[in-house]
Amino acid sequence: MDNYESNLRPDKGIFPLNELADRQAEEFGSNPVMRTWNGSGYSEITYTEFRANVNAIAGWLVKEGIKKGDRVAILSENRPEWAAAYLGIQVAGGVVVPVDSMMPPTGLRHIISDSEARILLGSSKFLKDIAEMEKITTLEKSVCFDEECVEDSIPFDMVLQIGNEKKHKFPKRDLDELAAILYTSGTTGHSKGVMLTQNNIMSNVAAASQIFPIDENDVFLSVLPIHHSLECTAGFLLPFYCGCSITYSHSMKSNDLIADIKNTGVTLMIGVPLLFEKMHAGILRGIRKKGKRTQALFNTMFGVVGSGEKLGLELGTKIFKGLREKAGFATVKFFVSGGGPLDPSTAVFFNRLGIKLMQGYGLTETSPVTHVNPPWRVSHETVGPPVPEVECKIIDANQKGVGEILVRGPNIFKGYFNNQEATDEVLEENGWFHTGDLGIIKEDNYLQIMGRKKNLLVTGGGKNVYPEEIEFHLNRGRYISESLVLGMQRDSGYGEDVAALIYPDYEQIDLHFEGSDKKATPDDVYNLIKSEVNEIQKDLEDFKRIRSFRVVEDEFQKTSTRKIKRFLYSGDMVKMDNNGKY
């Protein structure tokens, strides 16, 4: 077994974000830091060139009167300009407000207005939305990253030119200063500004660097939206801090992702469970298409690797070398999953293929990582132990040890922007943060997530049901693409019955009815799903079984990190009878 711990880089320490570009340019100079697809190949920028852009942006911001603590927003897709703007704002003394580009116009306006951002930097397609809104009183100017600029916006090239005209004196920054305000993605319907300090973010970056053996030879693939805390901290700042290079994926299509991995030698990718689960299903689908003989051979090899695990052997690296090369994953060492619970079977699958797939845990309020499975000891059912300097405890535990997860450490946020009441609800004076998630601490301090406290259902018999547990079983069904388990009020008015909304996997349903004379009707789909739900529930305790469900025609609306917006569907069970009809 590889001794991953011995390969960890020396601790580089914690320092304010405004020093990061200078430090890394001095150490890694001409090494490529970022690359993007330009239609015919990849364009690269070196650490030295990137630093020049960072300082030019900072110089322009200072010239425009940005002072310590002033908010500056960024609104664009993943690209080097976003990253340069983020660090340029830090150098100028400002506070970054990353804006979720997937939000509707009303959400965009709320974030920019609520944060009182003075300047906005972004892509033309998003700046157009802002230009069509009612004027935001605090917003003074906007900068356009693209050649074709929105009217009244300032071209990015002009910003760089003006910022480079003279040498500026930039403010000194302390670790306790505010670095960013990140607005929660709003799975509960409420978007609050999470205030993160320099120390919050950089302590998390430094902690992560002590878990993964990465250096200037590693290449990260940036897939998740960079405005989100997981991608910003772990997919941008962490590789930058370690001297790695970053490839920005040129699309979310599986073929494009594989091309990015193969063409740029990607060694690590951070994603959400849905991404890895679809990759898992895609590989298995490809194996099935090659016929029963290939499938039988794969199953045999997979079993051999599993037997080796019991003896402490990692055989998948050698046995599945050819498969990884054909699948486009020859260079990949690590996949890291976050943002939600990962199906353990998916984690087992990739680990047996010779790619370490580890899941972690955290929230925007924790900068974000609190737990992650280390490569040298992966537990697929858990999110691993706390990262260095972070404490975790469970309160109000039931007889099985399940209770609310509290965490404390240098990564815990300062509070919610202009919302002391909401801050006091979750942050104790002694530093403990109430996550609102339920979990249980296993052997060696490994944490297992059981669900959201606020999603908990209580049956008429007083039993607690965690929706995520039921969804886990449902989503493994062949004909079920995704599900949402909710509580339906019982006629007596006491307690809830377990119910579900189900979005079918129509591709698999079409295959099921392939060859029949008629096209599947809605009733055919419902009955097929019903049969599968009944089969899935055979091994569940009676109080956890779904009493009714409804088939939905569209995918569930999700946040930018692919979490279902549960609050949008909270009333969808009220009028449903046991046949899924209104």
Directed axis angle between helix 292-310 and helix 273-289, to 10°? 130
Return the structure tokens found at 92: 């100028």
H/E stretch holding 380 reads none
- pLDDT at 492 > cutoff 70: no
* CATH 3.40.50.300 given to domain 272-453: no
**pLDDT tens, residue by residue, 234-249:** 999 999 999 999 999 9
CA distance 54 to 56: 5
For the residues 358-367, what does the mean pLDDT come to?
95
**pLDDT grade, residue 251 (50/70/90)?**
confident
Domains 4-269 and 272-453 share a fold: yes
- In 3D, which of 338, 83, 102 has the Cα closest to residue 208? 338
Sign of the Cα pseudo-torsion (57, 59, 63, 66, in order): positive
At residue 477, what are phi and psi to the nearest 5 degrees? -65, 145
Residue 306 Cα distances to 59, 313, 315, 492, 514, angstroms:
57, 9, 9, 50, 35
One-letter amino acid for residue 447 of the chain: L
**pLDDT tens, residue by residue, 537-555:** 987 878 889 989 999 989 9
- pLDDT at 405 > cutoff 90: yes
Q: What residues contact 42, with CB distance under 8 A and at least 6 apart? A: 35, 36, 247, 263, 264
- CATH for 456-569 is 3.30.300.30
In DSSP terms, 550 is beta-bridged to 501
> What one-character DSSP code corresponds to residue 240?
H
Report pLDDT for 136. 93
At residue 141, what are phi and psi to the nearest 5 degrees? -150, 160
Report pLDDT for 339. 82
Q: Which region among 185-189, 237-241, 437-441 has the lowest average model confidence (pLDDT)?
A: 185-189
- pTM metric for this prediction: 0.83
CA distance 374 to 226: 23
* CATH 3.40.1410.10 given to domain 4-269: no
Sign of the Cα pseudo-torsion (282, 285, 289, 290, in order): positive
**pLDDT tens, residue by residue, 562-579:** 788 887 886 665 444 444
Domains of the chain, residue spans: 4-269, 272-453, 456-569
For the residues 514-521, what does the mean pLDDT come to?
79
Which range has the top average pLDDT, 186-200, 439-453, 509-523, 552-566?
439-453
Contact 231, 184 (CB under 8 A): no
Return the structure tokens found at 281: 């299903």
Report pLDDT for 5. 56
